[in-house]
Amino acid sequence: MAKIILALALAAQALVPTRTALKSTNVRANARSEMTMAADGGVVLIGVAADSGCGKSTFMRRLTGIFGGTNVGPLGGGFDNGGWETNTLVSDTTTVICLDDYHLNDRGGRKVTGRTALDLAENNFDLMYEQLKELKAGNAIKKPIYNHVNGTLDTPEEITPTQIVIVEGLHPMADPRVRELLDFSLYLDITDDVKFAWKIQRDMVERGHSLESIQQSIEARKPDFDAFVAPQRGDADVVIQVLPTDLIPDEKEGKVLKVKFIQKEGKANFDPAYLFDEGSTIEWTPCGKKLTCSYPGIKFAYGPDEFLGNDVTVLEMDGKFDNLQELIYVESHLSNTATKFYGELTQQMIKMGDSPGSDNGTGTGAADRGRIATPSFRAGFFQTLASLKIREFYEKLSGVEVEVEAPAKVAA
């Protein structure tokens, strides 16, 4: 009992903001000017792939938060302060680049070619490769801008890289030259059934679209998605896969989900997270007295597997529970989570407790504060774990430590 009280106390203390900074032998990075890289390089390049509406934006917030970045916002301020459209987000520690900026044609041009933006032929991979190679070497670039508001290609903007550059979009691993530049890659994989349920919730319930128009929209994109985007799953170091639950027969609404955290074996500087006993095959239904779980409850699984020709380790969560602070009970049974203090995974989840989650159309927001009964939580749990693992990977690769100030200890 004392252990549980201690755990919950630490989780509550996690509501207090922590101070995070990057440090090395000669550099303590507390400002963006100190984080920009000189021509000698040292940039760590991370790729995040997903279809539209699959949670890339929320994952960017989680990942930049794990690295301790502050002042996250559009480069130059966007329309409000800079007077132009920009897709680039910067913080003191990270630069996030949207690969839509490398579309070959504007919206009008694609109407002429008859191709979608998912088609590899509609993306300028030569320029993408050359510019990401320059960023990785620590050099500034003049990157094009794809204006999502009016569908035009705007005046290029200058990007000066920080030590961590994240490229997100439809195709970060599609070109072998670009893929070779990436130090770490992640794919957010939302299965067709779940994607359809989420899109109905957003477009039919909230936007008044018909069921037929939603189905036509999904089916129109599906051939190009299957041909040009989905194959990148096999190249990713980590895949976060969202599927229908196995706990409720024929559940179609996407409100209860199963999420898999698929980790490729043999990745240098990356040790897969595991449940209880590394290498074993385990199913675990947590004690109902220690987790507040409404129907249908929650179930975890762990073990080795094969995924698209790769040997992988898989962590799985199916179902839901209601009290976010009780997550520390689950966290205490996981190993290799890359946390720096007891309860850090729970702390990071609490910090994002008011987030809409995965931008999945469920409408989850502040109204659901304190109750984690939505798809965004399950994806958020593994997005947070992935962010911690990427931070650990960055530290091992770069030799730069991300320093985190833990909450004060509480007496048992």
Same domain, residue pair 165 and 196: no
Q: How many domains does the chain have?
A: 2
pLDDT of residue 205: 67
Instruction: Give residue 217's pLDDT.
Output: 77
Assess whether 296 and 246 both reside in one domain. yes
Q: What is the pLDDT of residues 189-205, one digit of tens each?
A: 988 888 777 777 766 76
Does 16 fall in a domain?
no
115 assigned to some structural domain: yes
Same domain, 123 and 224: no
Any domain includes 6: no
Q: Half-sphere exposure of residue 318, counting CA atoms within 13 Å on the CB side?
A: 17
Domain containing residue 69 = 26-182
Task: Please check whether residues 301 and 376 belong to one and the same domain.
Answer: yes
| Co-location of 168 and 111 in the same domain | yes
Domain membership flag for residue 405? no
Same domain, 254 and 359: yes
User: Do 286 and 371 reside in the same domain of the chain?
Assistant: yes
Position 21 in a domain: no
Q: Which residues pair with 300 in a beta bridge?
A: 284, 317
The pLDDT confidence band at residue 403, using thresholds 50, 70 and 90, is confident
Query: Do residue 272 and residue 159 come from a single domain?
Result: no
- Taking the model in full, what pTM does it have? 0.82
Residues 156 and 37 in one domain: yes
- Residue 78's pLDDT is what? 52
Residue 140: Cβ-neighbour burial (10 angstroms; 0-12, 13-18, 19+):
middle
Q: And the tokens for 98?
A: 């949207």
Q: In b/e form, how buried is each residue of 26-63, taking b as 16+ CB within 10 angstroms?
A: eeebbebeebbbeeeeebbbbbbbbbebbbbbbbbbbb
Q: Considering 182, 198, 215, which residue would you say is the last residue of a domain?
A: 182
In 3D, which of 178, 51, 129 has the Cα closest to residue 143?
A: 129
Give the CATH number of the domain where residue 156 resides: 3.40.50.300
Same domain, residue pair 171 and 225: no
In the structure, what pLDDT confidence band is assigned to residue 208 with cuts at 50, 70 and 90? confident
- Return the closest-CA partner of residue 104 out of 138, 80, 127: 127
**In this structure, is residue 409 part of a structural domain?**
no
Distance between CA atoms of residues 151 and 144, nearest Å: 13
Contact 375, 382 (CB under 8 A): no
Spell out the residues 6+ positions from residue 243 whose beta carbon is closer than 8 angstroms to its own. 191, 193, 194, 257, 258, 259, 260
Residue where one domain finishes, among candidates 114, 149, 182 = 182
The answer on pLDDT for 284 being more than 90 is yes
Strand order of the β-sheet with 20-23 is: 28-29, 20-23, 401-404
Tell whether 165 and 224 lie within a shared domain.
no
165 and 200 co-located in one domain: no
For residues 315 and 404, the model is more confident at: 315
Dist. CA 367–CA 1, nearest whole Å:
32
